[in-house]
Structure formats: structure tokens, C-alpha cells
Amino acid sequence: MTRNAKIKEYAIPEGADSGPYGVTAGTDGNVWFTEQKGNRIGRIGKTGEMKFFDIPTPEAGAMGIASDRNGNVWFTENKANRIGKLSTDGSFEEYELPTPDSGPFGIAAGKDGAIWFTQINANRIGRFDPSHDGWITGYPLPEPGAFPSFIASGSDGALWFCENQGSKIGRISTEGDIREYPLPQPDSGPVGITAGPDGNLWFVEIGGNRIGRITVSGEIREYELPRPGAKPHAICSGQNELWFTEWGANRIGRIALDGEIDEFDIPSPEAEPHGIAVSASGDVWFAEEIGRIGRLIVR
């Protein structure tokens, strides 16, 4: 499976004060990212050119980010208790959540046209309906303290999410019905999740040091990472493989659908890689919290 790869890094002018975190591939061919410290949404093109958009609310704490089918970029404001929208014309809209201090974190565009997000402090899944004047609905999780993190739209039309403290994978239908699937080992700490090219959901276990796969019927399989302490954080889908960040090992990982794993060292030490996305060109882009955006090119 191993192929030649190289990593290029692009410095954000403000460096570590920017704190890039979430990453999404836009429909415009660019890659978009949140700056949890810089309070901006950034855009980077395929040659590394950047543009920045200041979030209207100060110290919003932008974390998760997702693109919708219309080219808009949606993001969570963890500290400001809002979700935000950056339109294709560069304008912002922000929406206050009805539950105070709910801690919005992960976000995804659903196949139903709504925007779905996790609320780590409120222990619930939220749904924002752009077609009905921004109607927001919240769905409490069955067990307290689950700490729902990232969320993704599945091939079955439902939304799938990780329960970081509950060590479960959750599924919520577009009608709000919730089902949970416990992981085999306690304290696995699942964080990132994505829909794979095989129709399954793939996730990372920051505590368990594993990559997991769950079918839409709930069957789970796990793959141990080669080295201990990798702390996988976020995961995204490629054409025939999955890519993930290793926060603890300072690497980018790749797993084939049969479970074979490759790893690539990030040139900058202690880069703190978090969000990750694959662009339309097939390159892998990731956020380095030290103040860079990385690009892994595989040929």
C-alpha cells in the first residue's frame, strides 16, 4: 500500500496565536479551517494562498467546520454558544443556541438539508433547519456525561457521532431517534468520525490508540495503531482509504479498507495536528495548532 508522499506546510501569519483546528474541503476547490484562537475562518487554495474572515462575535472559540451542498461553510462557536455560517459572498450569520453554555463542537451537513451538531456540555445532538427560519431542535442523549464530539452523515441518511466519555458510537435518525453502540473496550475515547468510501463509518479512538469501523447495522471492528501513544484525533475519507491525524505521534496516518496502515511524519516537531480533509484534487490537508496548515501529497 505504501506510496511516495511528501508534506508541505504553510505558515499562518499569526503563528500559534491563530490556533487552527477544524478543516473541511469546500465545493469551490479550496480548503477551509477554523481558528479557535485567532477567531477567524481561514481559506487556503491549492498553491497555499490564504484569505481570512473575521468572526463577528469576539472569542467565539470556533472548532468544528463543515461545507454544505450550496458551498456555504458552517462552524461551531464553542465559547459563544452559537453556530455560524459563512456564505459564498463572504458574509456571516450567527445563531444563538437555546440551551445556555451547551458547548457546540462537531458539525455536519445532513442529507435532509439540515445542519447537525454536537453539544458536549449539554449532552445532546442539535439540528438547525435553514429552511424553517433557523429552527433549532435538541435531542438529549440517553446517558449523562457522554461528551459527544464529532459527527458525520452516514450512507444510511442518519447522523453518526462519537461519545468520547461514554466510549460509544451513536446514531441519530433525521426524526431524532437515537441508538448507541458501545465499543469493546472502556475508555476508548472516540473523537473523530467520517463516512467511508465503503459505506461504513470510520472513527478514531484517542484513548484506545485504534481506528474503528462500524457498519450501518452496528457491527464494529477495530485496528490497533503500530505504535503506542499515537492519540488519533480526526479522520476523513479519501477515494479508497481513510486519513487521520495522530496528535500524540506528530504524524498523518492512512488506513486501507482492509485495515493496512501507513504513517507519515510531519516535518515540524510538536505540530499538534487536529482537523483533516481531502480536497477535490486528492491532496490531504490538516490543521497544525502551532500555526500552520499542512498538505500531504501522495503520488
Q: Which residues are designated catalytic?
A: 274
Cell numbers at residue 75, please?
462552524
* Cα separation, 218 vs 221, whole angstroms: 10
C-alpha to C-alpha distance for 205 and 221, rounded to whole angstroms: 12
- Amino acid identity of residue 159, one-letter, is L
Classified as helix, coil or strand, 16 is: helix
Supply 7's cell numbers: 508534506
Return d(Cα 59, Cα 145) in angstroms, integer. Answer: 25
Grid coordinates standing for 124?
A: 445532546
User: Strands across the sheet with 241-246, in order?
Assistant: 232-237, 241-246, 251-256, 261-265
- Cα dist. 4→47, 147, 220, 299 in Å? 20, 38, 31, 6
**Amino acid identity for residue 7 in this structure:** I
Q: Burial level of 215, CB count in 10 A (0-12/13-18/19+)? A: middle
Q: Is 221 helix (H, G, I), strand (E, B) or coil?
A: strand
Per the DSSP assignment, residues forming a β-bridge with 118 are 125
Is the CB of residue 121 less than 8 Å from the CB of residue 101? yes
